[in-house]
Every structure is written in structure tokens, then in C-alpha cells.
Structure 1
Amino acid sequence: MTAQAGPRLVETPDPYGAFPRLTDEQVDTLAVVGERRRTGSGDVLYAQGEPASEFFVVLEGTVAVVEGFGDEQEIVRVHGPRRFLGELGLLEGQPAFVGAVLAEDGEVLAVSVAALRRLVLGDPALGEQILRAYLIRRSLLIGGGSGFRVVGSCYSPDTRRLLEFAARNRLPHRLVDLEKDTQAEVLLRRFGVDIGDTPVVVLRGTDVLRNPSNAELARRMGLRRADAQRGVVDLLVVGAGPAGLAAVVYGASDGLSVSSVEALAAGGQAATTSLIENYLGFPSGISGAELAERSLIQADKFGVRVAVPACARTLRPRDGDYVVGFDDGVEIAARAVVIATGAHYRRLEVPGIAEFEGTSVHYAATLHEARTCGSSPVGVVGGGNSAGQAAVFLAQDSPRVYLLVRGGDLTRNMSRYLVDQVERHPRVTVLTHNEVRGVVGNAMLEALVVENNRTGERRELDVRALFVFIGASPHTAWLSGLVALDEDGFVLTGADADGSRADDGWQHVSRRPLVLETSRPGVFAVGDVRRGSVKRVASAVGEGAMAVRLVHEHLFAGI
């Protein structure tokens, strides 16, 4: 279907607040930095898969937002006068996941991306309206399976790797499964790809990546990788969860030269949370993904873009500074380092569970994982906030969610407000003193074997997916033994690190470690990677901000 076919197109309704109509005054504000253009039916404003260089407001006529190519192109949205086009990728330098074509003669207002960014960051009301709409549109694209296609088997480790990377970075995509989708082989024949060369990523038309690395996909999607720095930066932040992002924003806004790197996706574990309801200042709650996206845009405002993927491998001192080496051979030197690499959820140790990981056993509960479950019953393992948030989120579509808790008291590790939601939800069943002992299924999960750890009674639960949130292990192997850790691998800071100070690092420093400082002067740790941290988003953000103040003290207090 093309934008010119059939009768005059009707504007798409806006039940989500994703397509607001600008006021005349807002249009006038944009017109000061923009250009009015007459347009004809069929004109392409931007094409799917290509970076969009301009922000468009429809002044007259209608514009069709289209997905697909050639005969497979379909209209997914129609916009009329005073609606604006685009989505989050426009601000983040990513290729367009859909295209925009004039459905009839009319007029548009075109604004450069640079001018738009200045307006978004400088005009609070207009900026918030555009940003909020763009965040919702990104969620709609992800939920609707728009974007690039990953063609491969759902049982392939590389297919699962690409799907996880896309999902964690909130890149719209969909899986064309070799095991289930009859179109998969048709696509492979069209592109001349053998099944043995899968998975492939179809970006647009005939633009195909054959089993790309995460770094290659990131590059094509406009994500920034780590580059070797000229000279030494004031601060290198390794990890981009809430703590790391806060350190970036506060450090850059304070005038420090800052580099920021992240191994997988910005937002950390918080970005896998569907709704954070106890974060100060957001009475209606905020999703972890939205918090991450807003933080990235805020960091960019102060001149820092987070490099993804960039996996730290080594840390070593050099002439009073520190050098961090990455998996691609890049090295970054810094006068101070903030370790914000967080932790990952532990795997569930159950016989046979590994074969279901990535297909029906998950360690995050985002739109991507929820979409794979459909309307099937699911199980959630864990007794903390992450497990409770996942249970409530999944119960929106699942007819039954079983929350399996090893202990007997939800309030021990879960916030009271969340306990109330879980216990009141009609589709959530809480099974305390229950643990998973086995999995049943052929290729896909069909049931769980659970055991009551007080009575020893076992039974099967009819579920099609399992979500696991059972504690975390820190990402600290890359620290090369340079920084003192506790017996579980968490970084020691402040008074805990005092007894582990390395003599060669402190011989010219006449003080003890600062509160978030490690056993090495000028190396700080924040968030979940630090021993004794409070597992809350707000505290992580606070630690990131505090670390910057301590970095100033280390760098400029004459010590």
C-alpha cells in the first residue's frame, strides 16, 4: 500500500498522547529557526533506514508514516496539520525506523536537528512535549514489532544475543523465526543467504548484516563506540546505570572533561524495570527505559555521549593517572575513574534450564520479553522489588502470574507499596516458601516443577515463561586485582577500603580514602557494584552525584 492509494487518508487518533498538536504559538517559535516548504503528494520527507536530518511539522495536508519497502510498504500512521513527525532516534542520531511520505499536496515546516535539540533543551514546555511524545512513540514502535528484522532461529545463541542487545538498547526490531515463520526462508532466498549464515539483520531493502557483532549493529544503529582519547580526561565513568549516568551529568555540568562507556546498554538493571513508582518527583511512576533515555539526552546536553558497546577489560595506573583498556583495544586515560559497572542477576541453578534461556527463561521484564509471552501464564522467581515490579507488569497481559518466593515474608525485601499491589492483583498468585526444582518442555517451556521448602511437597505449574530475579553478582573481573574487593566480589570503599590501600598508590596522599573512594586514590565506586550500596535507583543517583563532588576534592584540593 502506498500513501497515494485510495481515498483521502484520515488522521490517526491519539489515545496515548503520542501525537499532540502544536499550538499556533509553538509553531511560530519553531518557524523562527525553521523553513516553510511546499510539498507535493508522494514526496518523501525521510526514508526508513536512513538518518533523518530534519524535524518536520505538518502545516497543511496530511503525511503518511510508512513501514516496509516496495510492495510490502504499509501505512502505520497518518498526521494532519500542526502535528510533528519523528521519534526518539531523531534526537539520538539513529536511522529512522519508519518513513514519512506526503499523502497529498501541502506544506511543512522543516527544522534542523541541531536547532531542534537547542529548543528541546532550552524551552521547557515545548521540549517536554516533544520529548514525551518521542518516548511514547519509541515504546509504540517496540511494542508493535516495527524496525529492523532479525532473521534466525530462536534457539541460536547469536540470534538471542542480537535480540538481547536490541531490546536492552530499546531499538525497535522483530524476530523472523526460522523455526516458526514461513516468511523466514523466503527472505533468506531473496537476500541469497544460506541458513548456515544466519542470523542476519535486515536493515532496509537489501541492506543485510550477516551475523553482526553487537559493535557492528551498534554502529549501524547510530550508537557510539568508545574512541581513543587525545590526552587525559578529568573523569572516566565506566558503566551507565543510574549511578553512572548521574556521575556523567553532574561531572560534565560541573565543567569536567568526561568520558562515559557502557558494555551493553545504558540504564543498567533499572532499564529492565517496567515502572519505578517510588522515585522522588514522579508520582505516577517512571519506567526504567524512560529514565535512561532522558538521562542520555541530558548527558548529551552537557557534551557527553555514552559509548555503547564498550566492555572494560583492564585497569592500570600510569604516571599518577589511570588507563582503562577495552575489548576492542581502545584505551582511555583519566585523572579519576568512577566504577559504575553494576551487577547482573544470578542464573537459576536448575537442571535443564539453560536450554530455555533466551526463549522462555528471562532475566529482565521489558516490552520485548513480555511480547514473546503473549497471553500465556508465566512464573516469576524472587522476593525483591524487581520481582514484584515484573509480576505486576506481566499481569497486564498474562492470565496468571505465579510469584515464587523462597522465604515467607514479602515485606522483608520488597517495598510496602509494591507488596500491596502484588497481593491485591487478581491475576498474581504469590507462592511463598516455594522454589523451582525442574523445568518441563520440548524446545519451549511448558511447566515448572516447584517444591515447598517447608513441607517438601512438589507440583507442576502450567507456565510458558519464567522470569528470574534472585540477587546479583558484581561486574568487577575487569579491575585486574588493582582495587580491593570483598569475598563476594563487590568493591570496598571508604572506611572498608582503608585497610586495603595499596602503598604505591597512596605514598603521596596525606589522607584516608573518601567515602566512595576505593583502595586506589582517585578511583571511586558507585551503585550496585559497591559493597554496602542501597539497592534503590534514588540512592544510586545520589551516589553518582556525590562521587563527582569527591572527584573534585581529589583533583583540586591540593592533596
Structure 2
Amino acid sequence: MSAPGKQSPAVETPDTLGAFPRLTPVQLQTLSEVGTTASVSEGQVLARAGEPLGSFFVVVEGRVMVHSGDPDLLESDQEPRRDEPGDAAAQIEIHGPGRFVGDIGLLEGQPSFATIVALERGRVLEVPIDELERIVTGDPLIGDLILRAYLIRRSMAIGYGSGLRVIGSRFSPDTRRLLDFAARNRVPHRLLDLERDPAAEAIVRRMGLDVADVPVVIVAGSRILRNPSIVEVSQALGLRRIRPPATSDVLVVGAGPAGLATAVYAASDGLSVVLSDAVATGGQAARSARIENYLGFPSGISGAELAERANLQVVKFGATLFAPSTALEFTSDGGALNVRFSDGTSVSPKTVVVASGMEYNRLAVENLDRFEYTSVYYAATINEARECGTDPVVVVGGGNSAGQAAVFLAGTASHVHLIARGSDLTASMSRYLIAQVESHPRISVHRQTVVARANGTTRLESIIVEHLGSGTREEIATAFLFVFIGATPATGWLGPDIERDEHGYLITGPHAESSSSRRHPLETSVPGVFAVGDARSGSVKRMSAAIGEGASVVRMVHDHLETGGSRL
């Protein structure tokens, strides 16, 4: 193919927030020691959307174009709509000498979401992926520069709506399931809504699809998945590449902050580790747009970035990441532990660390169940903000998650209504966050207020709220409801044999009547089974505390393995 110069900007894309840094001659020399320099011709394709990006490319001479999609397919399938800033067809970058291409997916085995073409004759430095991984995780200067740029680029791609195209109805639970999966895994994507996007209907007709085929997922413009399962999408994206070994030193169930910390510290200690999760790494923390009170990050860090960095550490130290796959059943027969997963896989580890966290509580409100899959959200990230646009939104809850969501959504929504049952936010929200909420001109706080009813026909149109003190009611127009009213422990898969407290949290340490005084502080009533993070009774519901427990439990796992689990 030839480069579509008629669409290409004439000048190099300016750097944005460190997304497109230029490597220094010294850094280029370091990379050249593990790579090879090759000549490229005008129009030569270095990578095509939908295919693995086999190498890390740095421009040495000439210029390359990065097009978010396949230019051939985009020109034939749809007319680029330059007036829509979120349209994937509009995202074109030009890079000259010293610039490198790719994003975080290159380090995670994902296919390229962009086509990369040489605009003129020149030379590129090609570095194998395994060497790049070694540099990113081992060289504090070059590694951090590349990693930071890749994380920013992924965030930008998500904001643009590049990457996957999901064709379906926004009122369909199956469509929402696919969108949630993409969002949780931080995969750039865009919905072509059959209800309001003429292009979506045109594509469905051209492909000859029927109702049973929808929703459709198009991976980078080339691979078409008809009404796919989550596992099928994850395999197409390279997110689920290997099955876990039948046994290991430790199986960690749940890849939130506590589970990630356990996997990193256990694997770095030389233990064989399998880390599993039902959906994606990061847990609830990955759904936070900005975490501002985590030690060492004075300007804050997004939950997604924290999860991506931890992900790379998990891989660096050799742990096996197994996701998405849901733990269905745990058994302990004569001390032999076994966990069965939703795809039929069984793992028989020497120890199990339960880090499965919490499941969000749903709002029991009249008529709301009709809109559960179309208008109710349990996370507020850039993906949800893009779906809401400038429309007013309602956030329900009085804790930090609700406060963070309100502040983040107020950056794009015309107005945010924060509905809190309590009369004083200080009981459950950090003071720094209260100050941001109360001072924001587009946030209204409704204290001592609950949601009484949801209104709408095919979609949510408004909610009725009631003031608990006076009983007065008010109607608030909105099509988007964000719910942060707490959660319950996700421990049903463990069965009834492991002791819990009255709220369902796992009891650890020498606290239960059936326990031995030799039980480790984070060990459950079943020898060799430990619990960390939010699912544990008495845990501090803070991300830093969960990470601390994940690090601490590794020493207890070592002790269990060394003693054979004896509690005598």
C-alpha cells in the first residue's frame, strides 16, 4: 500500500504531556546495542492495525505516520469525519528522528491498534520486544521515559475512542458487557450505536449481519467477532495467551491492589505464582480516575496507570497472569487445595491467597432495574465520561469513590448532582476531597437525600430524590446514574467451610473458636488459605493497606511452605 499523504499532516506531531518524547543520542546508542538498524522505503508498512507489533521502532532518519486504524479499510469502509474529535479515523501522528512508536499494548502482547507507515525513505532502529521489556523494567532512565509515554498514549487513545469498534445498541446488556470489559482492561474502544449512528446500521447491512450476530466487535478494522464472549475478545486482543500450570506454590485469586502486590512480592522471592481475575487487573482502584492520597505520588496517579505498572512487574518477575477467568469453586480435600475456574481449568496450588475483593451493591430503587444495563454505572473513568459527554449526571454515595467520581465527571459534564444519605461527608470522605467537591462550581451536594424512583421509557430520563428530614421530593433530569454505595465481599466461590464474620468477610488469624493459636495473622480457618484486602474481616478499606497486606502475606506463605502447613 502507499501512504495516504492526502490525509497526513505536513508537520511533525507536537509532543503532548510527554507522550511523544525524543530520545537523546546516548539513549539511542543504548538501544542500538540490542537492536538493528534497517532502511525503509516510502509507503513501507511497519505494522498494520489488528496485527502484533513485532518490534519496538525508533525513527533514525525520515518520518513515519501512525494512523489509528487501517488507512485502506478506513478509506473504503467509511468517510473520515474530521469534525468529530472522538472519531478514530481522525487520529494521525507524524514522527521524525528520535521518536518511537507504539503504546503500552506492545509490552502486553496486544495487537497494534494503529497502522505505521514510512512517509519517506529513511532508517529505523528495530528492537526485539523481549529486549524492550528488559529495558523498561531495568533501566530507570530510558525505561521510565518509554513507559510514561506509552501510558499517556494509551490514555489518549481511550479518550479518542480509537482501537476496537463495538457495533450494537446502547440498550443491549450484551453491548454493555463488552464495553465494560474493554473499559476494565483499559482497551481503547468506541461504540457505534445502532440506535443513533447511521454508520453503524450501514456497516451491519454491508457485512450481511443479522440480529443474532449483534453486538459485533471489530478488532482494529480487520478481524470481525460476531456476538463474542468475553474470552473470545480477550484472546483476540492477546490478553489471555496461556493457561495456568496445574500446580504452583501460590494461587492468587483477584488482581486488585492486594492481589497484584502478593503476586509481585511472591514472584520476586522466587515462588511460582498464578494470578487470576474474573475481568481484569487493577480491581476497584483501576476505576479511579485520580488517586491523590497514595504515598509517593504528590500530584496523584490514575488507578489505570497504577494497574498497568503493577502488571508489568507481575510479568517481569515471572508470575502467570490468568484473566479473564472466574473462580467458581474451592475445595480442600485432606489438605489438598483446588480451585476450579469458569472455563473448566483447575489449579491445585500449595497455597491460596484470596484477594477477590468486593462486589458493588446495587441501588434498590423503584423502576431502576429497567435501566441497570444502559444507564447505571459503578465506575467513573474516561470511558464513562466519554459516553456521558456534557449531559448532567447523578452520583450516589458519600465515600471517597463517590467524591472522586463527582470531581472527575465535573470536568466534562454540565452539572454533577452528588446524592449522599448522611448529613456530614466527613464521616466517610477524606477532607481534601470534600474541599474539592464543595468548591467545584458544577457540583451540587444533596445531603440527607436518597434516590426514590427512576423515570424513563426506553432510557433513563430523570430520577426522583427525597430529603430524609423533610420528606420533600425533587426531580433531577439525567440519563446517567453512578452508584457508589458500598460493596459486599466476593467470596461466594469459596463455599461454606471457610469461617466468616456476620457480614460475610473472611476471618483471619487466631480469632475464631476453631482456629489454632499458631494460625498466621492473614490465614483463614483452612490451612494454607490466606486472605488479604477488602474481603478480609477487619481490613482497612484503603488501597495502601491492601498493598501492605499483599506484601506481608508472602512471608506467611513462605512459613507455610517451609513447615508443610503444620500448626502444632
Common fold by TM > 0.5: yes
CA distance in 2, matches of 1:391, 1:7: 38
For residues 379 and 258 of structure 2, what CA distance do their matches in structure 1 show?
19
Match of 1:551 among 554, 557, 567: 557
Please name the residue that 1:481 is paired with: 496
Q: Name the CA distance, whole Å, in 1 between partners of 2:161 and 2:168.
A: 16
Q: How does 1:276-295 map onto structure 2 within 5 Å?
A: 276-295=291-310
Give the match for residue 396 of structure 2. Answer: 381
User: Which residue does 1:45 correspond to in 2?
Assistant: 46
Counterpart in 2 of 1:137? 153
**1:60 matched to which residue of 2?**
61
The match for 2:508 among 493, 518, 524 is 493
Change beyond 3 A, Cα 1:511–1:140: same
Instruction: Check the 8 A contact 1:153/1:179 in 2, yes or no.
Output: yes
2:535 aligns with: 529
Separation in 2, partners of 1:8, 1:395: 33
DSSP-derived class of the 2:322 partner:
coil
Question: In structure 2, do the counterparts of structure 1 residues 319 and 283 end up closer, same or farther at CA, with 3 Å as the change threshold?
Answer: same
Q: In the alignment, is the contact (CA less than 8 A) between 1:492 and 1:531 conserved in 2?
A: yes
Counterpart-to-counterpart distance in 2, 1:71 and 1:215: 26
Cα distance in 1 between the residues matched to 2:142 and 2:336: 43
Q: Partner of 1:464 in structure 2?
A: 479
* AA matched with 2:377: H
Contact 1:3 1:102 in 2 (8 A): no
Report the counterpart of residue 32 of structure 1 in structure 2.
Answer: 33
Q: Cα deviation per residue 1:359-392 (whole Å; 9 max; x = unaligned)?
A: 3221110111111100111111101110000011
Q: Tell me the equivalent position of 1:504.
A: none
| TM-score in terms of structure 2 length | 0.94
Q: Does 1:222 align with 2:224?
A: no
Give the match for residue 361 of structure 1: 376
Partners in 1 of 2:409 and 2:244 — Cα distance?
42
Q: Percent of aligned positions with the same letter in both sequences?
A: 54
Counterparts in 2 of 1:416-455, with a 5 A limit? Answer: 416-455=431-470
Distance in 2 of aligned mates of 1:403 and 1:553: 47
Q: Which moved more, 1:435-444 or 1:121-130?
A: 435-444
Corresponding residue number in structure 2 for 1:507? none
Does the 8 Å contact 1:379/1:402 carry over to 2?
yes
Any stretches of 5+ residues in structure 1 without a counterpart?
Answer: 502-509
Match in the other structure for 1:347: 362
CA 294–348 in structure 1, closer or farther in 2 if over 3 Å, else same: same
Q: Report the secondary structure of 1:306's partner residue.
A: strand
* 1:505 equivalent in structure 2: none
- Is residue 330 of structure 1 aligned with residue 336 of structure 2? no
Distance change in 2, residues 1:400/1:6 (3 Å):
closer
Distance of 1:245 and 1:500 partners within structure 2: 30
- Of stretches 395-404 and 234-243 in structure 1, the one that deviates more from structure 2 is 395-404
The alpha-carbon distance between structure 1 residues 7 and 466, as it changes in their structure 2 partners (threshold 3 A), is: closer
How much has 1:171 moved relative to structure 2?
0.8
Residues 224 and 305 in structure 1, CA contact (< 8 A), matched pair in contact too: no
What TM-score do the two structures reach when normalised by structure 1?
0.95
Pairwise CA distance, 1:205: 4.4
Residue matched to 1:409:
424
Q: Deviations along 1:17-54, whole A, 9 cap, x unmatched? A: 11011111101110111111111110011000001110
Cross-structure match for 2:81: none
Partner of 1:118: 134
Distance apart, 1:4 and its partner CA: 3.2
* Partner Cα separation in structure 2 for residue 201 and residue 547 of structure 1: 40
Quick check: 1:4–1:104 contact (8 Å CA) kept in 2? no
* Deviation readout 1:157-184 (Å, 9 max, x if unpaired): 1111111111101111111111111011
| Greater displacement, 134-143 / 194-203 | 194-203
Structure 2, unaligned runs of 5 or more: 76-88
Q: Matched residues in 1 for 2:255 and 2:28: separation? A: 36
Q: CA deviation at 1:329?
A: 1.1
Could you say which residue in structure 2 is the equivalent of 1:172? 188
Q: Determine if the alignment matches structure 1 residue 160 to structure 2 residue 161.
A: no
Matched residues in 1 for 2:67 and 2:299: separation?
Answer: 33
SS at match of 1:233: coil
Offset from partner CA, 1:436-476 (integer Å, 9 cap, x none): 00112232322210000111000111223111000101111
- Counterpart Cα distance in 1 of 2:373 and 2:238: 25
Conserved 8 A contact 1:225-1:308: no
Q: Displacement, 1:91?
A: 0.2
Shift of 1:226: 6.5
> C-alpha separation between the residues in 2 aligned to 1:160 and 1:406?
28
Does structure 2 retain, via aligned residues, the 8 Å contact 1:9–1:103? no
Pick the aligned partner of 1:394 from 387, 409, 420: 409
After superposing the two structures, state which structure 1 stretch, 189-198 or 64-73, moved more. 64-73
1:2 deviates by 4.3
Separation (CA, whole Å) in 1 of partners of 2:42 and 2:553: 55
Task: Tell me the amino acid that sits aligned with residue 160 of structure 1.
Answer: R
The alpha-carbon distance between structure 1 residues 182 and 124, as it changes in their structure 2 partners (threshold 3 A), is same
2:323 to 308, 314, 317: 308
Quote how far apart the aligned CAs of 1:319 are.
4.9
CA shift, 1:521, in A, is: 1.1
Structure 1 residue 251 corresponds to structure 2 residue 266: yes
Distance 2:477 2:281 in 1: 35
Distance 2:241 2:134 in 1: 24
Q: Distance in 2 between matches of 1:171 and 1:6?
A: 26
Q: Secondary structure at the match of 1:435?
A: strand
Pair 1:97-2:99 in alignment: no
- Are the structure 2 counterparts of residues 500 and 210 from structure 1 closer, same or farther at C-alpha, using a change threshold of 3 Å? farther
| 1:195-234 alignment, distance < 5 Å | 195-224=211-240, 227-230=243-246, 232-234=247-249
Match of 1:506 in 2: none
Q: Cα distance 1:548–1:453, how it changes in 2: closer, same or farther (>3 A)?
A: same
